[in-house]
Structure 1
Amino acid sequence: MVTSPSLQGVVHVSSLSASATDRPPFRDPSLPLRQRVDDLLERLTPDERIAMLHQYAPAVPRLGVGSFRTGSEALHGVSWLGEATVFPQAVGLGATWDEELVRQVAEATSVELRAFHHHRPAVMAPDRAPISLQAWAPVLNLLRDPRWGRNEEGYSEDPEHTARLGEAFCRGLTGDHPTYLRAAPVLKHFLAYNNEDDRCVTSSGLRPRVLHEYDLAAFRPVVASGAATGAMAAYNLVNGRPCHVSPLIETELRRWAEPTGHELFVVSDAEAPSNLVDPERYFDDHAVSHAAALKAGIDSFTDSGEDSETPIGRLREALERGLIDQKDVDQALRRQLELRFRLGEFNPDLDPYAGTGPEVIDCAEHRALARHAATESVVLLKNDGLLPLDPAATRRIAVVGPLADTLCEDWYSGTLPYRVTVADGLAARLGVHGGEVIRVDDSDRITLRSRTTGELLCETPFDVVDWGRGVVTLRAADTGLHLSLKDDASLAADQELLKTWEIHETFRLEQAGDGDIRLRSVLTGRYATVDPADGRVAVTAETADAAARWQRELLRDGVAEARAAAEAADAAIVVLGNHPMINGRETEDRAGIELPERQEELLRGVAAARPDTALVVMSSYPFAVDWAEEHLPAVVWTSHGGQETGHALAAVLLGDAEPAGRLPQTWYRGDDPLPERLDYDIIKAGWTYQYHRAAPLYPFGHGLSYTDFTYRDLRLSQASLAQDGTVDVTVTVTDTGTRPGSEVVQLYVRALDARYEAPLRRLADFRKVRLAPGESRELTFRLPAERLAHWDVATGAFTVDPGAYEIAVARSSAHPVLTAPLTVTGPAPAPRVVVGRRTLTGDFDDHADSTLVDATRTSGDAVTPTDPSRPATLLFRDADLSGAVRVEVETAREGEGAREARLEIHAGERLLAGLDVPVTGDPYTWTTVETGLVAPMAGVHDLRLTLHGDFRVAAFRFGRH
Structure 2
Amino acid sequence: MSSPSVSATERLPFRDPALPLRKRVDDLLERLTPDERIAMLHQYAPAVPRLGVAAFRTGSEALHGVAWLGEATVFPQAVGLGATWDEELVREIGEATSVELRAFHHHREPLMAPGRGPISLQAWAPVLNLLRDPRWGRNEEGYAEDPVHTARLGEAFCRGLAGDDPDHLRAAPVLKHFLAYNNEDDRCTTSSGLRPRVLHEYDLAAFRPVVASGAATGAMAAYNLVNGRPCHVSPLIEAELRRWAEPTGYELFVVSDAEAPSNLVDPEHYFDDHAESHAAALKAGIDSFTDHGEDSATPVGRLREALERGLIDEADVHRAVRRQLELRFRLGEFDPDLDPYAGIGPEVIDSPEHRSLARRAATESVVLLKNTGLLPLDPARTPRVAVIGPLAGTLCEDWYSATLPYQVTVAAGLGAALGARGGEVVQEEGADRIALRSRTSRELLGKTAFDVVDWGRAMLTLRDVETGRYLSLKDDASLVADRELLKTWDVHETFRLEPAGDGAVLLRSVLTGRYAAVDPVDGRVAVTAETPETAERWQREVLRDGAAEARAAAEAADIAVVVLGNHPMVNGRETEDRVDTALPAGQEALLRAVTAVRPETALVVTSSYPYALDWADEHLPAVVWTSHGGQETGHALAEVLLGGAEPAGRLPQTWYRGEDPLPDPLDYDIISAGWTYQYHRAAPLYPYGHGLSYTAFTHRDLRLSQESITPDGSVEVTVTLANCGARTGSEVVQLYVRALDTRYEAPRLRLADFRKVRLEPGESRELTFELPAGRLAHWDVATGAFTVDPGGYEVLVARSAEDVVLTTPLTVTGTAPQPRVVVDRRTLTLDFDDHAAIAIVDVNRIGGDAVTPADPERPATLLFRSVDLTGAVRVDIEVARADGEAGEASLEILADGQELIRLAVPVTGDRYAWTTVGTELPGLASSGVLDGVHDLTLVLHGAFRLLAFRFGSTPAAD
Matched, 1:942 2:930: no
Change (3 A) 1:17 1:561: farther
Q: Secondary structure of 2:6's match?
A: coil
Verify: 1:221 aligned to 2:209, yes or no. Answer: yes
3-state SS in 2 of match to 1:103: helix
How far apart, in 2, do the equivalents of 1:479 and 1:259 lie?
59
CA 1:523–1:399: 2 relative to 1, 3 Å: same
3-state SS, counterpart of residue 454 of structure 1: coil
Residue 608 of structure 1 deviates from its aligned partner by: 1.1
Corresponding residue number in structure 1 for 2:99: 111
Equivalent position to 1:452, from 440, 446, 457: 440
The answer to whether the aligner puts 1:699 opposite 2:692 as a matched pair is no
Task: Report the CA distance between 1:392 and its aligned residue.
Answer: 2.5
Q: Letter of the 2:740 partner, please give it.
A: L
Q: In structure 2, what residue type is equivalent to 1:221?
A: P
Whole-Å separation in 1 of the counterparts to 2:884 and 2:207: 42
The question of 1:44 aligning with 2:44 is answered no
Counterpart in the other structure of 2:675: 687
Counterpart amino acid of 2:936?
L
Say whether the 8 Å CA contact 1:563–1:605 is kept in structure 2. Answer: yes
Render the CA deviation track for 1:847-888: whole Å, top value 9, x for unaligned.
001000001110000000011111111000011111110011
Aligned 8 A contact 1:572 1:612 in 2: yes
The answer as to 2:872 corresponding to 1:884 is: yes
Give 5+ residue unaligned stretches, structure 1.
2-12
Q: Secondary structure at the match of 1:291?
A: helix
Pairing 1:380–2:368 present: yes
Of 315, 318, 321 in structure 2, the residue corresponding to residue 333 of structure 1 is: 321
Equivalent-residue separation in structure 2 for 1:836 and 1:125 (angstroms): 62
Name the residue aligned to 2:332.
344
C-alpha contact 2:69 2:111 (8 A) present in aligned 1: no
8 Å contact kept, 2:711–2:814: yes
Q: Is the 8 A contact 1:16 1:64 kept in 2?
A: no
Alpha-carbon distance in 2 for matches of 1:61, 1:218: 41
- Mapped to 2, the partners of 1:680 and 1:121 lie a distance apart of 44
Q: 1:324 aligns with which of 312, 322, 338?
A: 312
Counterpart CA distance in 1 for 2:118 and 2:269 is 35
Deviation at 1:17, TM superposition (A): 9.0
Q: Note the alpha carbon deviations across 1:331-371, whole angstroms, 9 max, x for none.
A: 00000000000000011111110111100000000000000
Counterpart contact for 1:190–1:243, Cα < 8 Å: yes
Question: Which of residues 942, 956, 961 in structure 1 aligns to 2:949?
Answer: 956
Give 1:899 deviation, angstroms: 1.3
Q: Specify the SS of the correspondent of 2:858.
A: coil
* CA distance in 1 between partners of 2:55 and 2:841 (Å): 41
* Pairing partner for 1:677 from 643, 665, 668: 665
Alpha carbons of structure 1 residues 125 and 720: separation in structure 2 relative to 1, 3 Å: closer
Deviation at 1:122, TM superposition (A): 6.3
Matched, 1:391 2:384: no
Task: Verify: 1:431 aligned to 2:419, yes or no.
Answer: yes
Cα distance change of structure 1 residues 108 and 17 upon mapping to structure 2, 3 Å threshold? farther
Equivalence for 2:139: 151
CA distance in 2, matches of 1:383, 1:530: 52
Within 5 Å, which residues of 2 pair with 1:102-141?
A: 102-121=90-109, 123-124=111-112, 127-141=115-129
Of the three residues 191, 204, 211, the one matched with 2:192 is 204
Encode CA deviations 1:31-65: one digit per residue, 9 max, x unaligned. 01110001000000000000000000000000000
1:251 maps to 2:239: yes
1:315–1:385 Cα change, 3 Å: same
Task: Choose from 563, 576, 585 the match for 2:551.
Answer: 563
Q: Which residue of 1 aligns with 2:519?
A: 531
* 1:8 equivalent in structure 2: none
Does residue 443 (structure 1) correspond to residue 448 (structure 2)? The answer is: no
**How do 1:153-172 residues align onto structure 2 when only pairs under 5 Å count?**
153-172=141-160
- AA of the residue aligned to 2:195: R
* Among candidates 264, 283, 295, match of residue 295 of structure 1: 283
Whether 1:306 aligns to 2:291 is no
Task: Determine helix, strand or coil for the equivalent of 2:158.
Answer: helix
Question: Any conservation in 1 of the 2:9–2:51 contact (CA below 8 Å)?
Answer: no
Match of 2:879, SS state, is strand
Amino acid across the alignment from 2:138: R
Q: Distance in 1 between matches of 2:403 and 2:585?
A: 30
2: CA distance, partners of 1:669 / 1:537: 43
- Measured on the aligned residues, the alpha-carbon RMSD in Å equals 1.3
Corresponding residue number in structure 2 for 1:6: none
Kindly indicate whether the alpha-carbon contact (under 8 Å) linking 1:26 and 1:35 is maintained by their aligned counterparts in 2. Answer: yes
CA distance in structure 2 between the aligned counterparts of 1:168 and 1:242, rounded to whole angstroms: 29
Mapped to 2, the partners of 1:114 and 1:124 lie a distance apart of 14
The residue number in structure 1 matching 2:406 is 418
Q: Which SS does the other structure have where 1:819 is aligned? A: strand
1:19 Cα shift? 2.5
What are the Cα deviations for residues 891-917 of structure 1, in whole angstroms up to 9, with x where unaligned? 000025441110111111222222111
Paired amino acid for 2:945: R
Task: Work out whether residues 849 and 873 of structure 1, in 8 Å CA contact, stay in contact via their aligned partners in 2.
Answer: yes
1:240 aligned residue? 228
- For the residue of structure 1 that corresponds to 2:747, the secondary structure is coil
C-alpha separation between the residues in 2 aligned to 1:596 and 1:436? Answer: 29
Range 905-914 or range 523-532, more displaced: 905-914
Partner secondary structure for residue 40 of structure 1: helix
Aligned counterparts of 2:818 and 2:206: Cα–Cα separation in 1: 29
1:315-714 alignment, distance < 5 Å: 315-714=303-702
**SS of equivalent to 2:109:** coil
Query: Is this contact kept in 1: 2:45–2:116, CA < 8 A?
Result: no
- Rounded Cα–Cα distance in structure 2 between residues aligned with 1:126 and 1:64: 17
How far did 1:511 drift? 1.2
Q: Is the 8 A contact 1:121 1:129 kept in 2?
A: no
Structure 2 residues without counterparts, runs of 5 or longer: none
Closer, same or farther: CA 64–339 of 1 in aligned 2, 3 Å: same
Contact 2:112 2:119 in 1 (8 A): no
CA deviation profile, 1:282-309 (whole Å, cap 9, x unmatched): 0000000000000000000000011000
Question: 1:21, 1:170 → 2: CA distance?
Answer: 34
Kindly report structure 1 stretches of 4+ aligned residues shifted beyond 6 Å: none
Report the counterpart of residue 805 of structure 1 in structure 2. Answer: 793
Q: Does structure 1 conserve the Cα–Cα contact (< 8 Å) formed by 2:383 and 2:558?
A: yes
2:91 and 2:859 mapped to 1: Cα distance?
51
Return closer, same or farther for 1:940/1:402 CA change in 2, 3 Å cut-off.
same
Match for 1:791 among 774, 779, 800? 779
Asked if the contact 1:122/1:129 (under 8 Å) is kept, the reply is no
Residues of 2 paired with 1:19 and 1:832: CA distance? Answer: 68
Q: Answer with 400-409 or 932-941: which moved more.
A: 932-941
Aligned length: 949
- Does 2:862 correspond to 1:874? yes
Task: Give distance in 2, aligned partners of 1:355 and 1:433.
Answer: 44
Q: Does 1:743 align with 2:760?
A: no
Counterpart AA for 2:948? A
Instruction: Find the aligned partners of 1:395 and 1:213 in 2 and give their Cα distance.
Output: 52
Give SS of 2:629's match: coil
Quote how far apart the aligned CAs of 1:128 are.
Answer: 2.3
Give the C-alpha shift of residue 121 in structure 1: 3.4
Q: Distance in 2 between matches of 1:844 and 1:624?
A: 35
Letter in structure 1 aligned against 2:753: D
